[in-house]
Structure 1
Amino acid sequence: MEQAQEKIFELYLQRLSGTLSAEEERYVQEMLQHDAGFKAQWDQLEQENMTLHTDRYLQQIDSEAALHRIKEERTTRRPVVHLKKWLSAAAILLLTGSGVYYFFVRTTPATSPTVAMQQQKQPVRLLLSNGEKVVLSKDSSTKTIALNNATLNTSNGALQYSSADTVLNTLDVPAGESYKLTLSDGTEVWLNAATRLRFPFHFGRPAREVYVEGEAYFKVAANAEKPFIVHTALTSVQVLGTAFNINTYQPGIVKTALVQGSVVTKGKTGERQTLQPGIQADYDAGIGFVTSHFDEEEVLSWRTGVYYYHRMPLTTLITAASRFYGMRFVLDKNKEAGQVVTGLMDRNRLEDFLSDLKTTAHIEYHLSGNEITLR
């Protein structure tokens, strides 16, 4: 009985927040007509809503506060609920506080129809200096690939290799994917979606140099005699042994966030900025370096398949979502492009992301192949 009450209550909250699907709406209408117990409980919720104005309250719930709660759950390694669930939970508190109604919404979604997401992602590829292209599998099996100049070993979305070749190769990670690479010196590199890393199979002297476009996290193996240098289109970062994140997604901006150790980042015209752990340097070619403290959970969460966004314009969000999920997001021309939204994206829970948008920004969506239109 309690499970049935939970489901009715959650369906009612979804109706209030505008996230009830067409199939769920048909289910509600059918139950209202043919199930007296369902109708009695639904009518009780309707009466309480009229008294407490729950619908208006639900529209005023702070998305930023909900997102903060989700981040706390992640840092304590509890199961994470998506944004719509936290918003619904806030409405539950209102009803609970009235003393006339109490239900607990579980952290797992109620049984409901799912939308088939046809994500047609491109594979991760290694582009060799001789023009050869090697597709790298992300499955759990261990594979060995013998090349003329190297032996590759792949397993669970990670690549290791052995080679004495010092010519540059390119690891190409497409939209919607991520990948890990261990370089010849033991440096570990995590590559985010839509990222390219140029690197040699073996580092010569005097320095260890790589080139990145996109976003990558480096855990650099210490070597006092051979500095490690990461080049971007606008900057370079020099270290001996440390851990940092570098992001070049935004045109004309390079963001370097230091987690451990110390780095010196340099601009194309000679500007220099030394960073300490917990500090991020944003480099703009027209302004130079601007430093600030950063939230490590937010900056590095992409490595676990999560991306946070705060008061982000829809036009910016669809670019980030297209890259993150490997699908093409399109904003309907009639939708308010200046609208800002707050929430998170989980690479394995696209439906939850779309549902959250529907709740927080009243955005409908339409799927067609590998394209999602927001309207």
Structure 2
Amino acid sequence: MERQRYLNLLEKYLAGKSTRKEEALLDEYYKRLEAMSDVDLSDEQEHAMKASILEKIESRISTPEEQSKQTLKHSYRIWYAAASILIMIAVGSFFIRKDKKAEMVSKVPVDIKQDIRPGSNKAVLTLSSGEQIVLTQPHAGILAREGAAQIIKKENGELVYNLGDKTSEHNTKPVYNTITVPRGGQYQLVLSDGSKVLLNAASSLTYPAEFSGRYRNVELKGEGYFEVAKNASMPFIVKAGDVEVRVLGTHFNISAYSDDANITTTLIEGAVSMNKGKQTKRLAPGQQGISAYTNSEISVQPANIEQTMGWVKGNFVFKDLNIKEVMKIAGRWYDIEVEYRGNVQSKKFGGTTSRFSNITELLDYMKITGGVNYKIEGRRVILMN
């Protein structure tokens, strides 16, 4: 993980997004590795030395006093370190002593530790009859028919309700389907009106196989991103807990997890109204409406679009969130339990990592930037000071 950790730091620095703390870590780690290069160490001793250096550097630059010492005069050194390490990576010699023979590269001991793979596209579709289809199993093609709708799984895994030129002959009562995404999953579907929905982990959506009547009603639990097809004569209504979000055609995200304090609707484009009891608030693009489960109020505030839309784009984006909130979000995606030791929950964390990397990438990033140590035991992650 050391190699990947420093690749991530290099990427941030070259993109102009690294902090002074991260620049100091990159600079000093490189200098000390260079100092080690001519020392005759066994593989085991070298690995232990690198771990010790990393720990000492992190402790040195963790205080405001040390961070304040980083000035612009270090920029040249950082660029030199970045370029040098990139060259090492290109020739396959990163974290390997210079005097080692090429054939020994593959024998360098790796820090083998437990890791947890990211979530993936997985869900269960429940038909109106109660029959369930595990969507990770069937190949692409027609899975079932509900009324006039063909339910099709496409090659990319997307679930599509296709009416073609057909509609129900009679104004019959709609039949409802439910798609349920477990922890460690996500799934995308296209409803019969052409609206697209991406569901996050630990979420579900209940909807008619074919929309009829005056409204297009669906019910969400958990989190979903919606791109609603325009139809001015048939408003699209999402029910999430005791909140209703009404739209004609727009892009928005709703987070309505039962273990969160609030239901949050974030508008990306278009317009929506958020309703709860007698309260109604209209949102403009870039705003979010927040309603606590414990009262009937709706507050409107500017949204952090990058953070809200991070998961849709395949990233974790955290902006100064406490560690407990970070791990609640990560826990749903990686399907893990989290244990806290000490006062680590009160610490703050900010950063961006890929949702499709193993969990240690996020945890290592938290360790570098926030001083949070961790241990993995099966599917349990233990965080400590």
**Fold-level similarity (TM above 0.5):** yes
1:1-375 matches, within 5 Å, as 32-34=39-41, 58-59=61-62, 95-97=74-76, 102-104=81-83, 105-106=85-86, 110=94, 113=111, 115-119=113-117, 123-137=122-136, 142-146=140-144, 150-162=150-162, 166-249=174-257, 251-267=260-276, 269-284=277-292, 285-286=294-295, 288-332=297-341, 334-349=342-357, 350-375=359-384
Percent of pairs with identical residues: 25
- Structure 2 unaligned regions, length at least 5: 1-5, 11-20, 27-31, 96-109
- Aligned partner of residue 322 in structure 1, secondary structure: helix
Measured at CA, do residues 181 and 29 of structure 1 come closer, stay the same or move farther in structure 2, by a change above 3 Å? Answer: same
Cα distance in 1 for residues equivalent to 2:71 and 2:360: 23
Contact 1:121 1:174 in 2 (8 A): no
**Alpha-carbon shift at residue 169 of structure 1 (Å):** 1.5
Distance verdict in 2 for CA 1:370–1:243, change over 3 Å: same
What is the one-letter code of the residue matched to 2:39? L
Amino acid aligned to 1:355: D
For 1:157, give the aligned amino acid: G
* Counterpart Cα distance in 2 of 1:138 and 1:301: 28
- Contact (CA 8 Å) 1:253, 1:283: kept in 2 or not? yes
1:250-288 CA distances to partner (integer Å, 9 max, x unpaired)? Answer: 534111111121111101x21000111111111224261
Alignment check: 8 A CA contact 2:344 2:383 kept: no
- SS at 1:59 equivalent: coil
Which segments of 5 or more consecutive residues in structure 1 lack a partner in the other structure?
A: 1-5, 19-24, 47-52, 62-86
Equivalent-residue separation in structure 1 for 2:175 and 2:356 (angstroms)? 36
The question of whether the paired residues in 1 share the 8 Å contact of 2:118 and 2:184 is answered with no
Shift of 1:98: 6.7
The one-letter code matched in structure 1 to 2:131 is E
User: Secondary structure at the residue paired with 2:61?
Assistant: helix
Three-state SS of the structure 1 residue aligned to 2:332 is helix
1:178 and 1:190 in contact (8 A); partners too? yes
Q: Distance in 2 between matches of 1:143 and 1:58?
A: 56
CA distance in 2, matches of 1:206, 1:199: 15
Q: What does the per-residue CA deviation read over 1:85-144, in whole Å, with 9 as the maximum and x for residues that have no partner?
A: xx9xx97976445799755354989566464534496941112232211111299x6343
Q: Deviations over 1:16-47 (max 9, x none)?
A: 859xxxxxx9xx98963349xxx9xx9xxx9x
Name the SS for the 1:178 alignment partner. Answer: strand
Does the aligned pair in 1 maintain the 2:203–2:220 contact within 8 Å? Answer: yes
Give the 3-state SS of the residue equivalent to 2:210 in structure 1: coil
CA distance in 2, matches of 1:177, 1:328: 16
Contact 1:57 1:91 in 2 (8 A): no
CA displacement 1:266-315 (0-9 Å, x = unmatched): 01x21000111111111224261211122322211211221222232222
Aligned CA RMSD, in angstroms, stands at 4.2
Change in CA separation of 1:206 and 1:318 when aligned onto 2, cut-off 3 Å: same
1:217 partner SS: strand
Change (3 A) 1:33 1:213: same
Q: TM-score, normalising length from structure 2?
A: 0.69
Tell me the SS of whatever aligns to 2:161.
Answer: strand
Partner of 1:84: none
Alpha-carbon distance in 2 for matches of 1:246, 1:261: 15
| TM-score, with length taken from structure 1 | 0.71
Query: Is this contact kept in 1: 2:279–2:296, CA < 8 A?
Result: no
Task: Tell me how far 1:222 sits from its aligned partner.
Answer: 0.9
Structure 1 residues 146, 198: closer, same or farther in 2, change over 3 A? closer
How far apart are the structure 1 equivalents of 2:188 and 2:137?
A: 10
